[in-house]
Chains A and B, each alone.
Chain A
Amino acid sequence: GESVGLHLPTLSVQEGDNSIINCAYSNSASDYFIWYKQESGKGPQFIIDIRSNMDKRQGQRVTVLLNKTVKHLSLQIAATQPGDSAVYFCAENISKAAGNKLTFGGGTRVLVKP
């Protein structure tokens, strides 16, 4: 089975509110994590990444938090907009492992209500 999973398959959020998407991982050796956004009919788009030597990283309207103690990853989206409606995937890997393979979670669908 997959070593990365998500708590909530669907998240409905009001436009303008903040969104929080959660992800659990089971491989304690993983040291690199990525969040992707996938809009309907398109390929996943890189949002933000974080390495295990950090516990927080911020981008434009997005923040990724990493809690290595409980092997938990989250993506926070500030002031959610209609364009944020998509499926969000977390992914993990072990740096420099053969092929740089990523293990993906099952995805969370975010629906933004106007």
Chain B
Amino acid sequence: SQTIHQWPATLVQPVGSPLSLECTVEGTSNPNLYWYRQAAGRGLQLLFYSVGIGQISSEVPQNLSASRPQDRQFILSSKKLLLSDSGFYLCAWSVRDLDTDTQYFGPGTRLTVL
């Protein structure tokens, strides 16, 4: 069966510090991968998605970036965090090339920027 991991689970960082969040998927090959951000009590905002290694599509302009160095690894980064970057970051995956578009989510990372 497929599983998706995110770490760290929680993170407190000062403004201006760098960020690196990691997501890995097990039990599947060649997935689509996604990064979402969720503000407290709000819906999900798609930040990035990737259909393959080295292929990143950005959905919103921001000071975040994403990379996919391996097939089942997706990384969210920032060189300098802003207060507005605080939130709940969720990674998700979906199967490519099949007649299903369901996305499956990881446990999330709670980021607090002080």
**Chain B contact residues: over half helix, strand or loop, or mixed?**
strand
Q: A100-B32, A101-B46, A104-B43 are in contact. Are A95 and B101 (CB under 8 A)?
A: yes
Cβ A107 vs Cβ B107 within 8 A = no
Interface pick from A44-52, A60-68, A74-82: A44-52
**Interface size range on B against A:** 20 to 34
Apart from the given pairs A36-B105, A99-B51, 12 other A-B contacts in the complex at a CB distance below 8 Å: A34-B102, A43-B92, A43-B105, A46-B102, A46-B104, A49-B102, A89-B44, A91-B103, A98-B51, A99-B57, A101-B34, A105-B43
Q: Which B residues form the contact surface with A (CB < 8 A)?
A: 32, 34, 42-44, 46, 49, 51, 57, 90, 92, 94, 96, 99, 101-108, 110
A93: nearest chain-B partner, CB-CB: B101
**Digit string of A12-44 for contact with B (CB within 8 Å is 1, else 0)?**
000000000000000000001010100001111
- Complex Cα distance, B34 from A100, in Å, reads 10
B51: nearest chain-A partner, CB-CB: A99
Return the contact of B110 from the options A34, A41, A101 (Cβ within 8 A): A41
